[in-house]
Amino acid sequence: MRILVAGAGKVGRAITRELAEEGHDITLIDMNKKVLDDVMSKYDVITLNGNGASMITLREAGIENIDVFIAATNADEVNLLSCITAKALNPNVHTIARIRDPEYVEQAYTMQNVFSMSLVVNPERQAASEIARLLKYPGFLKREAFAKAKVEIVELKIGRHSQLNQVPLNRLSQKTRCQVLVCAVIRDGVSIMPDGSFVLQEGDRIFVTGAPDQLHDMLTHIGVINMPVSHAVIMGGGRISYYLAQELQKLHITTTIIEIDEEKCKRLSATLPYATIINADVSDRSVLESEDIRDYDAVISLTGLDELNIVTSMYAQAQNVPQVITKLGRGDESSLLESMPIGSVVCPKDLCTMHIVRYVRAMQAKKGAAKTIHRIADGYAEAIEFEVTDETRHTNEELRTLKTKKNVLIVSIIHGSQPEIPNGSSSFRKGDTVVVVTSKDNMILQLNDIFEE
């Protein structure tokens, strides 16, 4: 498809890379020529120096022939204006805008038609709800929900004394007394899609799928202490912190926010009366000591500086805070960070990119498109949720008779409300929901794509 991206910031570039790799024709617009030259020399795309909200630039970019327009500049107002302009020039274009300012979010959704936006993405709010889900049931490094949270994929690290150390995967259910399945493993920075004879080792990061209650039982059976979070401290008072504090209030978790800027503190205290707002510098060790972060069950580093977030989280880990979450704005160095004790990593840029990729893929597939897509195992694999429809082939056939593509794994079949870990004699029928895990080089747009032939 022909896609026009306005804004070559972090999100704009990440979208450009993902969509160019998926084989779309991308034009990238930005005001900064230097950034564009850099993008041109890295990805197979074309660039245009100009303002994405201006009619002249959009015409020059050939907006009449564009299928999807993505506005990802750093200003919400520019994104809104460019979507309106793009739609006016080409009524058939699908427009996607990034809207981040909490003050605009409500009108962005309720006035979506007025602003001619087909999809609104808010990376900060997405990040906040991701963090809230991690805090709801602590113990996992990452958790992704499928089929209205009937199935989840969670990430765990195997410690030296973990009961899973040296356990072969085909004995996993026995050991944990739960219906769970390991769908991917990262060992020494290399991602593996394991089979039953694979033996887990210390230091492995494993991605386990199952129903949420089964996953929690697994945690208790393997002896991971799993205390509910009741006090959380948030470092930095940016947009994510605002959304997160709102979510945490719903979960009855008391929240403390430490923010360096006094004006921001005042605004936060006015909008978040139930949170404790502290005006102090996070990078000052005495602040963390006087606030005594050991009293908290969770430390969430959300400042605008990745380096500060990493250091703060490492400090919190050293203080034995049970749940530590780190936000990374760039998130390009995930393999480097793997060895660092910074707890769970949340990257708003990646969340937002996946959301847009899913939308574009749904446009491509038209019928039977993916309902959810999550990147797991450092982006090596994708977990995708599909609904079985009339078009789906091989319904009601036993899985052992089906030939699927290499590196495709059916990890869950949900009949009605009951998720099932499939085995050779399982099958799916119309109306079921199926979750598949595939390595990224497979291009799975609809469920039929998983079959060989």
Q: Which of 37-45, 90-98, 103-111, 269-277 is the region at the interface with another protein (rule: CB under 8 A)?
A: 37-45
Q: Which of 34-42, 76-84, 193-201, 239-247 is the region at the interface with another protein (rule: CB under 8 A)?
A: 34-42
Chain length of the chain? 453
- Examine residue 199 and tell whether it contacts another protein (CB under 8 A): no
- Examine residue 56 and tell whether it contacts another protein (CB under 8 A): no
Q: Are 117 and 381 in contact (CB under 8 A)?
A: no
CA–CA distance, 234 with 298 (Å, rounded to integer): 8
Question: What are the structure tokens assigned to 140, written together?
Answer: 């996992």
Residue type present at position 225: I
Report CA-CA distances (Å) from 77 to 9, 49, 98, 204, 410: 16, 19, 10, 45, 43
Q: How far is the CB of 3 from another protein (least distance, A)?
A: 9
CA–CA distance, 134 with 109 (Å, rounded to integer): 26
Question: What are the structure tokens assigned to 144, written together?
Answer: 């992704």
- Examine residue 444 and tell whether it contacts another protein (CB under 8 A): no
- Examine residue 190 and tell whether it contacts another protein (CB under 8 A): no
Q: How far is the CB of 42 from another protein (least distance, A)?
A: 4
Question: What are the structure tokens assigned to 359, written together?
Answer: 């939308």
Q: Are 168 and 197 in contact (CB under 8 A)?
A: yes
**Residue 401: CB atoms within 10 Å:** 10
CA–CA distance, 124 with 243 (Å, rounded to integer): 8
Q: Which of 14-22, 84-92, 203-211, 276-284 is the region at the interface with another protein (rule: CB under 8 A)?
A: 14-22
Q: Which is nearer to another protein, 46 or 114 (CB)?
A: 46
CA–CA distance, 125 with 348 (Å, rounded to integer): 9
Phi/psi-derived region of residue 404, left when phi > 0, alpha when psi is between -120 and 50, beta in every other case: beta
Among 27, 279, 392, 433, binds another protein (CB under 8 A): 27
- Examine residue 41 and tell whether it contacts another protein (CB under 8 A): yes
- Examine residue 17 and tell whether it contacts another protein (CB under 8 A): yes
Among 6, 8, 14, 43, binds another protein (CB under 8 A): 43
SS3 322: coil
Q: Which is nearer to another protein, 47 or 344 (CB)?
A: 47
- Examine residue 45 and tell whether it contacts another protein (CB under 8 A): yes
Q: How far is the CB of 97 from another protein (least distance, A)?
A: 21
CA–CA distance, 76 with 424 (Å, rounded to integer): 50
CA 321 to chain centre: 24
- Examine residue 33 and tell whether it contacts another protein (CB under 8 A): yes
Helix axes 123-136, 348-365, angle to 10 degrees: 110
Burial of 434 (0-12, 13-18, 19+ CB in 10 A): buried
Among 11, 26, 185, 219, binds another protein (CB under 8 A): 26
Among 9, 25, 75, 278, binds another protein (CB under 8 A): 25
Q: How far is the CB of 250 from another protein (least distance, A)?
A: 42
Among 7, 12, 32, 46, binds another protein (CB under 8 A): 46
Q: Which is nearer to another protein, 25 or 217 (CB)?
A: 25
**What is the maximum alpha-carbon separation in the chain?**
65
Q: How far is the CB of 8 from another protein (least distance, A)?
A: 13
CA–CA distance, 277 with 111 (Å, rounded to integer): 32
Count of chain residues binding another protein (CB under 8 A): 16
- Examine residue 5 and tell whether it contacts another protein (CB under 8 A): no
- Examine residue 44 and tell whether it contacts another protein (CB under 8 A): yes
CA–CA distance, 406 with 398 (Å, rounded to integer): 18
Q: Which is nearer to another protein, 40 or 88 (CB)?
A: 40
- Examine residue 40 and tell whether it contacts another protein (CB under 8 A): yes
Among 6, 11, 15, 20, binds another protein (CB under 8 A): 20
**Residue 71: CB atoms within 10 Å:** 30
- Examine residue 148 and tell whether it contacts another protein (CB under 8 A): no
- Examine residue 59 and tell whether it contacts another protein (CB under 8 A): no
- Examine residue 39 and tell whether it contacts another protein (CB under 8 A): yes
- Examine residue 42 and tell whether it contacts another protein (CB under 8 A): yes
**What DSSP designation does 228 have?**
P
Q: Which is nearer to another protein, 46 or 318 (CB)?
A: 46
- Examine residue 172 and tell whether it contacts another protein (CB under 8 A): no
Q: Which residues of this chain interact with another protein, rule CB under 8 A?
A: 2, 17, 20-21, 25-27, 33, 39-46
